[in-house]
Amino acid sequence: MEQGADFQLAKNILNDSNIGLWAIEIDEGKPPKMYADRAMLSLLGRSPESRPDPEQLYRDWYNNIDPASYRAVREAVIKMTCNKHAEVSYTWYHPTNGVTHMRCSGLRNYDYREGVRLEGIHQDVSELILTQNAYEVTHDILSNANIGLWAIELEENYPSRMYADATMLTALGIKEKLTSEQLYHTWYDRIDPEYREEVDTFISQIAHETHAEVQYAWHHPDGQLIYIRLGGVRNKLNNSLTRLEGCHQDITSVICVQKEMEKMQIKLKRAVIARDKAIDMAIMDPLTRVYNRKGLYEKATDIIRRNRKKSLDTLVMYIDMDNLKKVNDTFGHDDGDFCITAISSILKKYSLDRGVIGRLGGDEFSCIVTQSDTDCSEEDSINEIKAAFDMFNDSSDKPYIISVSIGCYTVNPSEQLSIEEALAKADERLYEAKSHKSAFLLKADKE
């Protein structure tokens, strides 16, 4: 291939790479001149087809150099003039694109006899500079946030290698200069054994091109246990080895806060349990585990108020055990307690999903239930409860019968009665029911 063809091929390659060729002639007593190829003219904001005046082209180029870059450009020109290769990056104001970043390199051509002729290449590196600046800004932000950068290289038949920036090395407390292999082993060997499997899984996930994160404990050289969060991905640009890259953050303070919060939550739960227990003790009867008088009044008041808004009746039942004193005197107080708990269990089943039950004291109970249009009458309710006691007695191995007397009062929505007033009315009817009742104590007597 002839030399001219070689030169043209080189120009085409440079042009395709957006790299221009330039020459500057500085003759004594004459204005400087600049010559540029098509790619260079395009980079300077000129039409590739134009034939600009060399002196004007030089002025346009030089005058648009950012003043802050003048010194660097002059030093590069002096260096080239002294037959030394020079390269300079500088800021230049493009006529349409605004601020751009240029990189020039060149040498002096000593074949030129009329003065000084400098020749070289010129490239717009704005995108590269912006990327570098963005990287530097990002790195500064990460560093201020105590987030370091790392890379791990895994290659078959070769030891694993790790690279880390200064932020990560500081967090790990590594001050000595280590090779990449030593750094990897120093990092990996200090992972707390309890977390090593999680870290291995993390590395495997990234190696298979899946973004992953892991949080683990690490034994710091100063003896303390720190907590680290790693996140990373695989770098797919290098196919000859597996390169993993990501960020590293010391989250020990976060973990400490979390642990303190967990302790506070445990204390709070205990306090809530203690509070609920205290409330429970205040409104529950300890023997039967149904509401005591105070608890019943609170719940019953809510039911009556709610039913009044819905225009529903509320059935208030006053219930008293028959022959408790005879049971205590004949069979003992343990059997008396047995009777009381049996009554509460039967009434619980009756009031289930209907309302509430409470022990007013001694052998006295109350059921407060909501009555809808389809519910049975007062007499039917009494008979339903007595039938439940008959079933209990038939299956009981006790020699005595447990029975109750019941007084009912239905509070309709138009009545503005309190629970105390409603119970008083039900108690009056209970008294009437007891006065006409002859209760059996022993099953044998009934037979």
Instruction: Give a yes or no: residue 168 inside a domain.
Output: yes
- Check whether residue 85 and residue 114 sit in a common domain: yes
- Check whether residue 125 and residue 157 sit in a common domain: no
DSSP structural state of residue 209: T
Instruction: Give a yes or no: residue 344 inside a domain.
Output: yes
The mean of the pLDDT values for the chain is 86
Q: Among candidates 383, 374, 388, which has minimal Cα distance to 406?
A: 383
- Check whether residue 239 and residue 368 sit in a common domain: no
In this structure, what CATH number is given to the domain that contains residue 197? 3.30.450.20
Q: Between 21 and 237, whose confidence is greater?
A: 21
Domain count, the chain: 3
- Check whether residue 126 and residue 149 sit in a common domain: no
- Check whether residue 180 and residue 125 sit in a common domain: no
Q: What is the pLDDT of residues 74-98, one digit of tens each?
A: 999 999 999 888 899 999 999 988 8
- Check whether residue 190 and residue 46 sit in a common domain: no
- Rounded CA-CA distance 248/256 in Å is 18
- Check whether residue 220 and residue 154 sit in a common domain: yes
Which position has the token pair 């004949």? Answer: 330
Instruction: Give a yes or no: residue 320 inside a domain.
Output: yes
In this structure, what CATH number is given to the domain that contains residue 331? 3.30.70.270
Instruction: Give a yes or no: residue 258 inside a domain.
Output: no
Instruction: Give a yes or no: residue 287 inside a domain.
Output: no
Structure tokens at 152: 């791990």
Q: What is the pLDDT of residues 35-46, one digit of tens each?
A: 988 888 988 988
pLDDT of the residue at 125: 83
Q: Where residue 48 falls among pLDDT bands split at 50, 70, 90?
A: confident
pLDDT at residue 143 greater than cutoff 70: no
Summarize the confidence of residues 312-316 as an average pLDDT.
Answer: 92
pLDDT of the residue at 220: 93
Q: What is the pLDDT of residues 233-291, one digit of tens each?
A: 998 876 778 999 988 888 888 777 778 888 888 888 888 888 878 777 888 998 999 99
pLDDT of the residue at 290: 92
Instruction: Give a yes or no: residue 122 inside a domain.
Output: yes
Summarize the confidence of residues 330-346 as an average pLDDT.
Answer: 94
Instruction: Give a yes or no: residue 158 inside a domain.
Output: yes
pLDDT of the residue at 363: 92
Domain span at residue 92 reads 3-130
Q: What is the pLDDT of residues 434-447, one digit of tens each?
A: 876 666 677 666 65
- Check whether residue 202 and residue 307 sit in a common domain: no
Instruction: Give a yes or no: residue 61 inside a domain.
Output: yes
Helices (H) and strands (E) in the chain, counts: 15, 14
φ/ψ (deg, to 5) at 164:
-145, 145
- Check whether residue 120 and residue 191 sit in a common domain: no
